[in-house]
Structure 1
Amino acid sequence: MDRINAGEKIEADDWMPEEYRKTLIKLISMHGISEIMGALPEKEWVPKAPSLKRKLGIMAKVQDEMGHGQLLLRVAEDLMKPYGKNRESIMEDLFSGELKFHNVFHMEAPTWADAGLIGWLVDGAAIITQTNMLDASYGPYARALKRICAEEVFHAQHGESIIIALAEGTDAQKAMIQDSINRWWDSLLMFFGPGDASTTGTSKQDITIKYKIRTKTNEQLRQDFFTKYIPRVLSLGLKLPDPTMRFDDISGQWIYQQPDWGRFKEIIKNKGPKSEERLRLRKISYETNAWVREALGSPVHS
C-alpha cells in the first residue's frame, strides 16, 4: 500500500496480496471477455450495413474490439500464473458461467440504429469507465488501457456518425434512433454497476478504489456519463425514456429513476435476451478453431 500510495506501479512479477491479485484477475478477465463478446452484436451488422463505407467501418471496429480482448486476456493470464491457470481457464470459466461479461452485450441489436448507439453511447460509457483507470496502480493494465482508450475514441466517433446521419434523415430513421434509445436506456444505466452499497449489497467498487485501480465510484461515473451525453441526446431532438430525469442544482446531481437491479443480476447470470445465443457462437468458434491453438502449441519438427 505504501508503494501504491506513493504512485508506484505494481508489475506482474511483483509480490501482491491475494485480495489485490484476485480483484485484478476478476476485473481484467471480465473486461477482456466483454470486449470479445461485445464484438458479436456489431458483427451481426457487418453483412447488413447500409453502404460499403459503413460495412468497412463496422468491420474495422469489430476487429479492434477483438484485439482489445486479446490484449487484456494476456494481462489477465500473467496474473493467473501462480494459480496454474491460463487463457483456456478463462474461456472455460466463461462457458461455465463463472466468468461474467458486461450486461450491455447480452442485449439485442435489431436495427442499424442499435449498431450506431453501441458505438456512440455504450462505447462512450466505456471510455468514461476506462479513462478513470488510466492511472491504475497495476502497470500492465494501465498501459493496455492507454491504447484501448485511444481506439475507443474512434469507435465513439464512428457510432456518433451513424446516429447523426440517421437523425438528419427521414422521420422513420429518427424514430429508429428513439426506439433504440428506449430499448437500451436501462442497460446504459446498469453499465456502471450498482451505486450505493447500503442499498445494493455490493462493496466490490470499494476494493478497486482502495487499491487505486480506479478513483471514482459507480455512481460518480454514471453521473459523468449523464453530464456528457444527455445534452447530446437532447440536441438531436430525441427524448429521454425517463420522464422524471432532471439536473438538481442544489445537489449538483442528475435525478433519475433507478433501473431494475434484480433484472441486472439475472442478465449477468446469462439470462439476458441474447445470452445463450452469443455464448453458443463463442463456444462454436472456440471449438472450431482448437486446431489453430494446437498447431501453435506443437513443437517444431525439422
Structure 2
Amino acid sequence: MAVEMKYDDPIQQKKYEDFLSHIESGGKIEADDWMPEDYRNTLIKLISMHAISEIMGALPEKEWTPKAPSLKRKLGIMAKVQDEMGHGQLLLRVAEDLMKPIGKNREDIMRDLFSGDLKFHNVFHMKTKTWADAGLVGWLVDGAAIITQTNMLDASYAPYARALKRIAAEEVFHAQHGEAIIMALSEGTEQQKEMVQEALTRWWPALLMFFGPPSAKTTGTSKQDTTIKYKIRKNTNEELRQYFFTKYVPRVLSLGLTIPDETISYNEATGEWTYQQPDWSEFKQIISNNGPMSKERLRLRKLSYDNNEWVREALGATAILQ
C-alpha cells in the first residue's frame, strides 16, 4: 500500500491526520482546502491525463467523420467528437484549479504532453482501420471508460467528482452509439460481420490494457494504491477489468463474435474470470508514445495548438484590459 506521509512540523502533521480522517469519513475536499502535496500531485497527474485522453480520444473518431456510411452516422460521430472535446476542456479547468497554488497552468499541461511527460490512454495510440473500429471505440472503449469513471463518482476531491457525473452520463450515450454501429454490422453481410470480428481481434489486447496493470509487480509503475488510499477511486485495476468481462463478454458472444482468447472463462467458485494477460511491456511502449499512431496524433495536436496560439494571446490581452 501507499506509504503514509510524515511531517517534521507537528502542525502540518496534525493537518495531514485531520485530512485523512475527513476523507475516511466520507468528507469532500474543495480546490481551496488544505491538502497534502502528494494528494495534489496525484490529482493533477490523474485529471490531466484524463483531460488529454478525452481530447486525444476524439482524433481516432474524427478520422471517420468524413467516411461515415450515412448522414445519420456522420451526425452521430460528429456529436460524439464534440462531447469528447468538451469533456477535455472541463477537466482541464479542474486540473488548472489544482495547479494554481504551485504556480502552474494549462500551458504546463500541454508542454508536458508534447515532451512526453504526460501520458494519455493506450487505446488512443491505436489505428482505426475500418468503420467497425469506430463502432468498437464507441461501444467497448467508452464502455471501459464508463467503468473507470463510475468507480470515481464518489471521489474525495469534489470538483473532479462533479465533473465525472456529467461526463459519465454523456459517455453512456457514446457507448450506445457505438453499440448500435456494431449491432448493425453484426446483423449485416458476411463481409461486415468479418470486419467486426477482425476489429475485435485487433483491439482486444488494447481493451485489456485500458485498465492498467493488475499490480505494481507487473510493470513497477502502478499508482493505484495511492488513489485508493486517498479515496479518489474505490477499486483496483484488476477488479475493474473483471467487471468489464462480466458486463461485456456475454454481449460480445451474443452477437456471434469470438473473443480472441481461448483461455477466457468464468470460474463460478471464485467469481472471477481467467484470461490471458496482455503484453505489459508493449503497454509501456505504447503509452511512452511508441504506439502505431502516437507520433501522428501528437503532431496533429501540436499543429492545432500552435495554429491557435493567437486566440490564447487575444484572450489573455482581453483579460488584462478588463
TM range (shorter): over 0.9
Aligned to 2:131: 112
Match of 1:244 among 263, 269, 290: 263
How many residues get paired?
Answer: 302
Once the 2 structures are TM-superposed, how far is the Cα of residue 203 of structure 1 from its aligned partner? 4.1
Aligned to 1:194: 213
Question: Is the partner of 2:235 in helix, strand or coil?
Answer: coil
- Distance (whole Å) between structure 2 residues aligned to residue 39 and residue 88 of structure 1: 20
Does residue 1:42 correspond to 2:85, yes or no? no
- Give the letter for the 1:21 counterpart: R
Aligned to 2:39: 20
- Distance (whole Å) between structure 1 residues aligned to residue 219 and residue 300 of structure 2: 32
- Which digits, 9 at most, give the CA deviation of each residue in 1:181-219, with x for residues without a partner? 001000000000000333332441000000000100000
- Distance (whole Å) between structure 2 residues aligned to residue 281 and residue 136 of structure 1: 33
- Distance (whole Å) between structure 2 residues aligned to residue 241 and residue 67 of structure 1: 34
Does residue 1:137 correspond to 2:137, yes or no? no
Equivalent runs, 1:214-225 vs 2, <5 Å = 214-225=233-244
Equivalent runs, 1:219-238 vs 2, <5 Å = 219-238=238-257
- Distance (whole Å) between structure 2 residues aligned to residue 146 and residue 82 of structure 1: 26
Once the 2 structures are TM-superposed, how far is the Cα of residue 82 of structure 1 from its aligned partner? 1.7
Aligned to 2:96: 77
Does residue 1:209 correspond to 2:204, yes or no? no
- Which digits, 9 at most, give the CA deviation of each residue in 1:269-291, with x for residues without a partner? 00000000000000000000111
Aligned to 1:296: 315
- Give the letter for the 1:130 counterpart: Q
Q: Which moved more, 1:202-211 or 1:104-113?
A: 202-211
Does residue 1:10 correspond to 2:29, yes or no? yes
CA 1:235 to 1:92, structure 2 compared with 1: closer, same or farther past 3 Å?
same
- Which digits, 9 at most, give the CA deviation of each residue in 1:218-257, with x for residues without a partner? 0000000000000000000000000111111221110000
Aligned to 1:160: 179
TM-score, normalised relative to structure 2: 0.92
For structure 1, the residue ranges without an aligned partner over 5 or more in a row are none
Aligned to 2:143: 124
Once the 2 structures are TM-superposed, how far is the Cα of residue 146 of structure 1 from its aligned partner? 0.3
For structure 2, the residue ranges without an aligned partner over 5 or more in a row are 1-19
Does residue 1:149 correspond to 2:155, yes or no? no
Once the 2 structures are TM-superposed, how far is the Cα of residue 8 of structure 1 from its aligned partner? 1.2
Once the 2 structures are TM-superposed, how far is the Cα of residue 6 of structure 1 from its aligned partner? 1.5
Aligned to 1:31: 50
Aligned to 1:86: 105
Aligned to 1:283: 302
TM-score, normalised relative to structure 1: 0.98
Q: Percentage identity across aligned positions?
A: 77
